[in-house]
Chains A and B, each alone.
Chain A
């Protein structure tokens, strides 16, 4: 076989380089993936290395002067600057509040909307629409709805006898408000992922379980939920990462306030880098955030792999 191939090529007037099929395939493969690889290098690996370098310098954007300072920025963040731990705590509160709420709601909606019934498309659209709505419009509307006395939310609460707080003016309530409004905006995305996963589960599993006497809850607990595990993991990781990176929502809803009550890591990085021009310090913070997200992801993946055994 190989002989006939080479004979053919050498018979041509132009002599093709004598590459084995494997080599040729490898070269073609690299050519095909090269745009992606180039993009990865230019837009991901490059900036990452740059940030890594910046984080070791004191660099003022205005004077364009960079001085190498070693790990000073990291030391500042972790032990000198009192803001950092407060900000980190806020980020965790945001994530720990948002992720379970988002995922529970997404799964509940998906379970309700994964089977066809009259109007199902309408409901899916309703819950997905906020995902594609502009963050600005979303924030404006919610700031309006969440106003103190006059806001629609508080008026609604008042009608059932609850005296609502001034949502965006009190630090703790502001955190609750940004979490809930963020969940409502983004839950549709996870809902769609769960719907897709549910629809991929063969109906016979449910039929078999029902025939064997399983209740709806048992079917969910013993069949559906375990089969959703890979999807749940993916959703968990992307939602977790997304909640650590939340920026626009905070910027538009509270600007990190009141009393830094909603000042989360990504927003803090933005403030340090682009408001106070502490690029070195901001880069160090960004590296810390990168490591946190990386660690969380790795832990999840490891747990999952153990679970599969």
Chain B
């Protein structure tokens, strides 16, 4: 049973509070991803769980055990660092065996466990090499191998793929997913790549300035963001948010009531281009960015705002051409003046 419970966790460095009260329940075997803008406290929170930063206030349970005062090594967690933190003066094998050695595990068992871990990650051929003789992807794999060898209950990853090139990142991402499936351990993974977050996570935790903005499955966050911040943070390109006034008239003409909403969010991929003069919104294409599978259109709206539209169909409008924009009712997100989501879009009574 290795669930984790975070209760009102706080962390201050001197007088600056960095983690401002985090409550979270991580279930046994769950893959949880922390995302958020740079400096929001993802690494700090992860290091608090690991025991590398002490906890200023609140309670942290691993399983049923309160671990606030338990040393890092006794928490049953292993961490994969962004920098990999492989000891440069030790061969791969000794890097992987390091934890077993300091814990005085007998040499034969050490050997066996390193071999097992190496086999499962296809590292056998690299065991005699030094970290400097490895490629980025190989180093990454060794770092994961080192974590596995200790048989931890919980794996922590701090942006493990951010030093790899795009192609390798996709590949390692799938390896980490496979690893989770195979081992079934609880894993907490920090990233600010939202594709990584969406593809790996059972649940995503969106953090901002030391607080949780929303916790949910990737689908929940995408389809029902709890507020403007999450709505614009999840999804790429980011969601268009227009003042309610710009669509209010066209909506009520269709018998839809916008209620108390102040902002209306529409994801670029949900907007379709229709003939000029029709549709919910009108505007003119100012810029077309061809990306291969799709084209990103920048549309200057009548009200003065710019909307992004992902266009992947036929009838590509020219730059400068007037167009109409249409979106299905269920794809509209309404936000109140505080930026909190209101739903659903109601039929006018």
Contacts and interface: CB of A to CB of B under 8 A. Distances in A.
Contacts of A207: 47, 50, 52, 79, 81, 85
A229 B146 CA distance: 24
Interface in B71-126: 72-73, 77-79, 81, 83, 85, 87-89, 98-99, 101-103
A226 B72 contact: no
Contacts of A222: 98, 101-102
Given A209-B98, A212-B98, A202 B85 contact: yes
Contact of A212 (B73, B81, B89): B73
A209 B102 contact: yes
Interface string A184-217: 0000000000000000001011011111111100
Nearest to A201: B88
Nearest to B149: A212
Nearest to B74: A213
Contact of B83 (A202, A213, A214): A202
Contacts of A204: 81, 83, 85
Nearest to A215: B102
Contacts of B102: 209, 212-215, 218, 222
B73 A211 contact: yes
Contact of B103 (A213, A223, A226): A213
B72 A211 contact: yes
Contacts of B73: 210-214
Nearest to B52: A207
Nearest to A212: B99
Task: State which size class the interface on B falls in.
Answer: 20 to 34
A202 B72 CA distance: 19
A208 B88 contact: no
A218 B98 CA distance: 10
Contacts of A209: 87, 98, 102
Nearest to A307: B89
A218 B102 CA distance: 7
Contacts of B101: 222
A255 B99 CA distance: 55
Interface in A36-93: none
**Which DSSP category, helix, strand, loop or mixed, fits chain B's interface?**
mixed
A214 B39 CA distance: 29
B45 to A, nearest CB: 15
Contacts of A227: 87-89
A202 B99 CA distance: 18
Interface residues of A, number: 18
Contacts of B150: 212
Interface in B33-75: 47, 50-52, 72-73
Contact of B52 (A210, A215, A229): A210
Contacts of B77: 211
Contact of A211 (B51, B83, B87): B51
A237 B77 CA distance: 43
A213 B81 contact: no
A119 to B, nearest CB: 16
A207 B85 CA distance: 9
Nearest to A221: B102
Contacts of A213: 73, 99, 102-103
Contacts of B89: 226-227, 229
Nearest to A218: B102
Interface in B264-295: none
Nearest to B143: A208
B133 to A, nearest CB: 13
Given A204-B85, A205-B87, A211 B98 contact: no
B96 to A, nearest CB: 10
Interface string B176-220: 000000000000000000000000000000000000000000000
A229 B88 CA distance: 12
With a 10 A CB-CB cut-off, give which of A205, A208, A209, A210 has the most chain B CB atoms.
A208
Contacts of B85: 202, 204-205, 207-208
A212 B73 CA distance: 6
Contacts of B78: 211-212
A207 B77 CA distance: 13
| 9 closest residue pairs by CB, A with B | A212-B99, A213-B73, A204-B85, A208-B85, A214-B102, A226-B89, A204-B81, A211-B72, A213-B103
Given A213-B102, A222-B101, A223-B87, 7 more contacts: A209-B87, A211-B77, A211-B78, A213-B73, A213-B99, A214-B102, A222-B98
23 contacts: A204-B81, A204-B85, A207-B85, A208-B79, A208-B81, A208-B85, A208-B87, A209-B87, A211-B50, A211-B51, A211-B52, A211-B73, A211-B77, A211-B78, A212-B102, A212-B103, A213-B73, A213-B99, A214-B73, A214-B99, A222-B98, A226-B89, A229-B89
